[in-house]
Amino acid sequence: MPHISALYGAARHMGDAQAAEDLVQETYLRAWKYFESFDPGTNCRAWLFRILRNVWVDRWRKARLEIPLPDESGVALEPYYDWEGGLLGNEYSEEVGQALSELPEEYRWAVLLADVEEFSYQQIAGIMQCPIGTVMSRINRGRRMLARLIRSGAEGSPESKRKKVRDPLEKI
Amino acid sequence: MDCKEFREILDLYMDGELAAEGVAAANAHVSECPGCRAVHEELSRLRRSVQQIVREHNAPSLLVDRIRRQLMPPWRRVLAPAALLILVLFALAAAGASPGARGLVARSMEFVAFHLDPPRLVELEGQLVCRDCELKALYGAKTMCLLKGHRGALKTADGKIWNLMEGEHTEALVHDDSLRGKTIHIRGKIYRRAGCVEVQSYRIL
């Protein structure tokens, strides 16, 4: 079944194993139901990811009444990474998994779609249904926040240290 | 391009979102600046690490099966059992027509049985009989038992006569005439294709 592992991999990082199975199953059922709306000239994987994202929004985000991220479009990008000087260790897979799970969900989506699925910004904007400028800022901030979280994890920091990692949008 | 400019377009550079001239300028800067090269490499490593983490989750095969079943068109869900029913009815009707047709049906059913029931460990219960004498009684088969001696086999309640493979546990079952007619419980491996049981243990009931 094409693309199912990619969808499951992403879904698995947006919820636990059971939630991921439900998400992917519902995604395929919706895709089957609305297949007529798929334009054969476009990317099927991106179309499926858009459905996955919609299912996720419908089922989980609304249910939890999560406070959405503030509008990022007017906030300047962060040009510098604060890991300069080789702050990351050689092996940081474990920290990456943990850090990814701590990343705010909208940033996590952006990072997964850009870094793992390697969609273009245009496609990510279609999947996340937001302007390209928002995609750019989410990827930009998501990566930097991920790097900070990994670093705090790699330094063996306790939870208290982790909590110091702020959303870059948060007002000081 | 200087370091500040490069850092500002680093994400776009990484994600292949820059125009050709931007890529050329960024490439030139990376080749000259060790600091920016290191940052670019770290970001590439981070991306590979995220990819590795996410791609280690494969969709469970049960999930794939479940989705496949659910995506089966409704007409197929109805038609599959209906087709099987029609086939069985047709086979039953054909079985009454002639011995040749009955043979064909029986062979087809055997063929299905061979594939449905691969060799496996089972427990069987039945009466120990002489195979050839049973065939003589049932069909008038010409037997040589009086000359060559009887040969024990297990007749189960469904009328099937199972041959017993020669082995360390079967000497008495196959060749001891005093056991004939007794009810036997056998544990062993069945080979449906040969109508045969490889006895691992047995007890006389």
Kindly give the confidence (pLDDT) of every residue in chain A, 172 residues in length, as a single tens digit, with 9 standing for 90 and above: 778 889 999 998 888 888 889 899 999 889 888 888 888 778 888 999 999 999 998 887 666 655 455 555 555 566 655 555 554 555 556 778 888 889 998 999 999 999 999 999 999 999 999 999 999 999 999 988 888 888 777 666 544 444 445 554 544 3
C-alpha distances (whole Å) from B102 to each of A55, B106, B110 are: 55, 6, 12
What single-letter amino acid sits at B186? I
Confidence at residue A159, expressed as pLDDT on a 0 to 100 scale? 46
Identify whether A71 is part of a domain. no
Are B7 and A7 within 8 A, CB to CB?
no
Residue A16: domain span: 4-64
Identify whether A172 is part of a domain. no
Identify whether A78 is part of a domain. no
Confidence at residue B145, expressed as pLDDT on a 0 to 100 scale? 79
A115 touches chain B (CB under 8 A): yes
C-alpha distances (whole Å) from A18 to each of A48, A61, B14, B56 are: 19, 16, 34, 17
- A80-90 burial by CB neighbour count: b if 16+ within 10 A, else e? ebebeeeebee
Identify whether A133 is part of a domain. yes
Identify whether A76 is part of a domain. no
The dotted CATH code for B120-204 is: 2.40.50
Nearest by CB to B42, from A83, A112, A140: name it.
Answer: A83
Confidence at residue B161, expressed as pLDDT on a 0 to 100 scale? 93
Residues A48 and A101 in one domain: no
pLDDT along chain B (205 residues), means of 10: 86 91 92 89 88 86 84 67 80 74 79 81 91 89 79 91 86 88 92 89 90
Confidence at residue B91, expressed as pLDDT on a 0 to 100 scale? 74
Q: Calculate how close chain B gets to A172, using CA atoms only, in Å.
A: 23
Residue in B56, B62, B63 to test binding to A, most A beta-carbons within 10 Å:
B63
Domains in chain A, number: 2
Q: Where are chain B's structural domains?
A: 3-55, 61-114, 120-204
